[in-house]
Structure 1
Amino acid sequence: MAASVVLTVGLTVSALPSAAADASQLSRKEKATATGKDQPHEDLTPAEREVIDVTMAPRDWEALGKKKATRAGNTLPAPRSAPGSDISPEAGARQDEEAGLQHPGHIAQPSDYDEDAAEEWPDSDEDDEGARAPSGGLGKSPVQSLSKQCLAESQAKTKHGNIFHRFLFCRDSKVRFRYFTPTPYGKFYRGKVDATQRTVSQASKGKNGIRFHRAYTQFVAGSISYSFRLPIDQVRAEYIKLGSRSTCQQGPRVCDVSGSGFQGQEIKDWKRERPWRSQWFYQDITNKPGTSKGRDQLVYHKWRVEWTTWGTLFPIVPLRRHVSEYRQLRCHTVYNKYGSSEAQDGCAFSEKPLMMPYSLSNSETKEAVEHIEQAVTMPDTTYPLSAPPGTDNPPRKEIPGVWGVGPRAPLHRLQIMDPRRAANESHKDQACEQRGRYAKTGIPPAKQPGSGQDCDEYPFQSTLEGASNREWDFSVKAIKSDHNQKAGGALGKFFTKNVVLPWDDNLLAPANERFWVHFVR
């Protein structure tokens, strides 16, 4: 079910004589209805919508449409930013887990990490006649194909919205505006506007020198309808403006919003069907590394969208607006990608759990994936054994890293040159060859790799939880070489596509990037 919000904006103005004339045309029963006593949640429940009422003097209604509308991009000024506290990497990571595990959004599929199937942000809008996009690969409109996939998922119609993947968020919110005029009988109900407010946000991921995400907003053309009691109001309604803006909770010391006023246009313009690229307003939310921590200069910030209604010739003061729930981003500057000294700046919707998808039905990686499944679901059947054969009551093995299975603890990537990778390799080799510390518990000679086989290990050699980790157990098994290599290649693509940051010893464990394996059947 779509999340619905009725917006109630209040404007306190004194009643004018002509308001009584409007009300005098109504019967006693109509007056009761007009003043809101029986009005108007006829199709709503309190849990579905929240109302924003717009109370306007009659002169404001008469002014609608009399003066040529200002250009579509007219904005209301932004109020002064409220100061906020910084989010530490540790606190940000905890909030990631709380929100992300409750609302994981799109579950990644293996095809998401195929080289040909994974879509990068284009250098130009796909239907913008070849115009160059702004820095960071983000255009004047969101990437159409991925945005439509995101919006098609049921999560997009909830109050939380849909974190489709690490770099794309979307939400559709049903909105109702109700409009009133003060009269001697109370507030005279004039009518309502229903619409769907749409937000799509893309996070930057490139060598642009700026850490930001771009929030695109619109009121969906086909969703806008209105109903007013008086015929003249039905005509004037087309000149009412609907608009949105983005805000950052922490204020300018941590993040800035470009063009931070409300951006919108009149209903008659919103209702026009136009090409995808010309339907949107956008604002950039830039994250500042000055308050960062750790090797990768991590900064967390919270962002949301607000929306309201106003007129070309009448401001709504005080301005009251509906606000969406905050979504959290983590921004970073990576200097160590593949040993390069060149910085990789970007942001990600970090609330979404990172899951590496492996298909149990993929014939090209089948033996590698089956090994992971066995290691987590039946760890005591794997090598190395937890104790030499014949030991009474050997301890049970615990192997982490698979979503919803076993200990459910996550994995953490290691840097390519991290010495713990070499230690993992050493432990794996000893267990595979039944020597060293695993001389009595490793793979027996009859089950060791033969021609065309590799000795596969899980957790992965590239993770902190690998074979040398003292807190967790591990598994080794002889599998087909090509299965092992293709499964490893998929993991490498997953790290690259999602900008999975390696473990940083300078940060507490909760602040380090974590991921899970997710089985796809």
Structure 2
Amino acid sequence: MLVAGVAPGVAAARVEVSEGPAVIKMRVGIDEGELDKMRAQARAGQKVGPQQQGRAPRTPGDDQRERQPAQKPAAAEKQARATAAAAERVTKRNPGAVTAAPPPPVLNEPNHRLLDECFKSPESAPGMGRIHNRFTHCQRIGVEAEYWTIRNGVPVEKEGTTTATLELFTQTDDKQRRARQWARIQRDSVDYDWGWWDNIWLAPNVPLTIIGQCRESFSVCAASGGGVTFPWAYWDNQTTWQSWDVYNKPGSGVGRDVISYNHEYVELFTDFPPFVTIKRGESPQRALRCDSATYFRHGTTTYPHACVFAEVTPRAGFTTDPASNYYLVSLHILQAQDAPNQTYPRLVPDGVPPPRDKRIPGKYIAGDENAPGLHRISPQLHPTEDKENDAHKNGACYGTGIYADLYRDIGLPVPPDTSIPEECDEYPMGSTLEGAAHPDWDFSVKAVPRSHNRAAGGKVRVYYVDDRILQWDYDLEDPFNSNDRFYVHVQ
């Protein structure tokens, strides 16, 4: 399999990505003298645990880990592709993304339809949760909190373990460079293993704090909202979602569309006196790609900024179901992807041995990050490439234009019949860099009913917006790895 931008015959290395953690582990300490006091208070029927509960303002202490600098788009995009492919390889099913659709508005509560769809679907990979589409992620993951007595700041004896299930739901925005995280402990999922007396009187009153975070430096992203602290017993008996916003800063972006990557996750800890966190728990980090492209719109509605989950393989879905109004185009794409030598234009006239097999990119292959994809272009931003694609298509399909002689005897033997009416369908689409004019790839043309061709074209245009496919930017460093890549998947 070839990589776009790499000369045919040059192999590309596969990047393996390990699975995410199956359990979030944290460790909390308490001075042995303070623990004795708490047990005595519990026996006396006094309140044990935090005197203040709920959300506290965010403080510098809420962000104690070492932040990381921004990752260059090429490296971030390659890593995201490798993660998406690895997720597909470690599952026997083909999870992928659901059909692209405009994301619903980000509200104070999770979108219930998306919430149900996401949690009822299979995980993308163990420990990764479900990347439902480019705008939605969800995960249920175990939490294991160990509690130790400490002497002079050193853990000396394990007192008990509290386990639970953390529920996460994140929705990105198509109006801002933002992701909204929601988190809660799944109701009735908390168990205590401290000893029968502590299980009843002490462990349920120990506080737990959850807070939303971003991994990169403050010049790249920032999370809003402070930590939310409640006793384990409260977390276990409520269904309210707690939320945080992770903002990506335009100043960290590069290129025409101001592209930047960051990672979002939540932290769990207990720093409410007299407890001190020895090791914070962290949910698996998910990669976001944010941009400020100005060309996304449906009608008069524009989408000037957005973030999407980068670790999913974007693909335009086509069906061969005869009930669809474009299925003949789907059959053409399927033939071009699976039997390219049977398509027009031929490499050589009939009766002449072809020098090689035709090579047509864009087929989705689950688990293969090196499959050659497609890159979006437009007449507005890429007028030369767009005109050249059209000219080569006309030469191969109609035998007209500046390339008529180039495709003589190898183009369509019978041009589309405009009286039916028919039109020329091309694959890869003329709206891609890998279209008919690309010097390193082949293409296919076929006569199809006008209604099918135009329905398929409309479907692609909607897909570009709904899946936030960025247009090719020559000025990006390492453009073949920095630019958005997508596939066409025929079912």
Matched, 1:298 2:259: yes
Separation of aligned partners in 1, 2:354 and 2:68: 55
For the residues of structure 2 that align with 1:446 and 1:148, how far apart are their CA atoms? 49
Match of 2:142 in 1: 174
Distance 2:174 2:319 in 1: 27
2-side partners of 1:171 and 1:226: how far apart?
Answer: 22
Of the structure 1 ranges 451-460 and 431-440, higher mean CA displacement relative to structure 2 is found in 431-440
Query: Is contact 2:49–2:207 with CA below 8 Å preserved after alignment?
Result: no
C-alpha displacement of 1:302: 2.0
* Partner-residue secondary structure (3-state), 2:237: coil
Q: Is the 8 A contact 1:108 1:357 kept in 2?
A: no
2:62 is aligned with 1:78: yes
Instruction: Select which of 206, 221, 238 maps to 1:240.
Output: 206
Residue 509 of structure 1 corresponds to 480
Could you say if the C-alpha distance between residues 330 and 412 of structure 1 is closer, same or farther in structure 2, counting changes exceeding 3 Å?
same
Are positions 1:270 and 2:248 aligned together? no
Q: Distance in 2 between matches of 1:2 and 1:150?
A: 18
Indicate the residue corresponding to 1:48 in structure 2.
none
Matches within 5 A, 1:96-245: 96-103=80-87, 106-109=95-98, 112-113=99-100, 118=101, 120-121=103-104, 137-155=105-123, 158-181=126-149, 190-206=159-175, 210-231=176-197, 233-245=199-211
The superposition leaves residues 451-477 of structure 1 with CA deviations (integer Å, 9 ceiling, x where unpaired) of 132211100011111111111111001
How far does the alpha carbon of each residue in 1:190-218 deviate from its partner, in whole angstroms, 9 at most, with x for none?
44322101111111112xxx411111111
TM superposition shift of 1:289: 1.2
Residue 361 of structure 1: which of 294, 307, 321 is its match? 321
Asked if 1:494 is matched to 2:474, the reply is no
Listed as ranges, the matches of 1:459-478 within 5 Å are 459-478=428-447
Gap runs ≥5 in structure 1: 17-55, 122-136
Structure with max Cα Rg: 1
Q: CA distance change for structure 1 residues 10 and 214 in 2, over 3 Å: closer, same or farther?
A: same
**Does residue 1:409 correspond to 2:372, yes or no?**
yes
Quick one: which of 420, 432, 439 aligns to 2:408? 439
| Deviations 1:192-247, CA, capped at 9 Å, x for gaps | 322101111111112xxx41111111111131232442425512322222232222
**Does the residue aligned with 1:427 lie in a helix, a strand or coil?**
helix
% identity of equivalent residues: 26
Q: Which residue does the alignment assign to 1:287?
A: 248
Pairing partner for 1:329 from 288, 292, 309: 288
Letter paired with 1:321: R
1:272 shift after superposition:
2.4
Deviation of 1:176 after TM superposition, in Å, equals 2.2
Instruction: Show the counterpart of 1:134.
Output: none
Deviations 1:283-308 (A, max 9, x none): 11111111211100011112222223
Cα–Cα, structure 1 residues 269 and 79, in superposed 2: closer, same or farther, change >3 Å? same
| Contact in 2 for aligned 1:74/1:265 (Cα 8 Å) | no
Q: Which moved more, 1:458-467 or 1:64-73?
A: 64-73
The alpha-carbon distance between structure 1 residues 78 and 224, as it changes in their structure 2 partners (threshold 3 A), is same
TM-score by length of 2: 0.83
- Residue-pair matches, total: 447
Deviates more, 1:371-380 or 1:62-71: 62-71
Instruction: Give the Å deviation of 1:328.
Output: 1.1
Contact 1:205/1:347 (8 A) holds in 2: yes
Q: 2:29 aligns with which of 3, 7, 11?
A: 11
Amino acid at match of 2:219: R
Q: How far apart, CA to CA, are the structure 1 residues paired with 2:102 and 2:470? A: 20
My pick for the range that moved more, 68-77 or 427-436, is: 68-77
Quote the residue 1:128 is aligned against: none
Residue 82 of structure 1, CA deviation: 2.5
Report the 3-state secondary structure (helix = DSSP H, G, I; strand = E; otherwise coil) of the residue aligned with 2:275: coil
- Answer with 457-466 or 242-251: which moved more: 242-251
- Tell me, yes or no, if the aligned pair for 2:397 and 2:415 is still in contact at 8 Å: no
1:87 paired to 2:78: no
Q: Which runs of 5+ in 2 are unaligned?
A: 1-18, 89-93
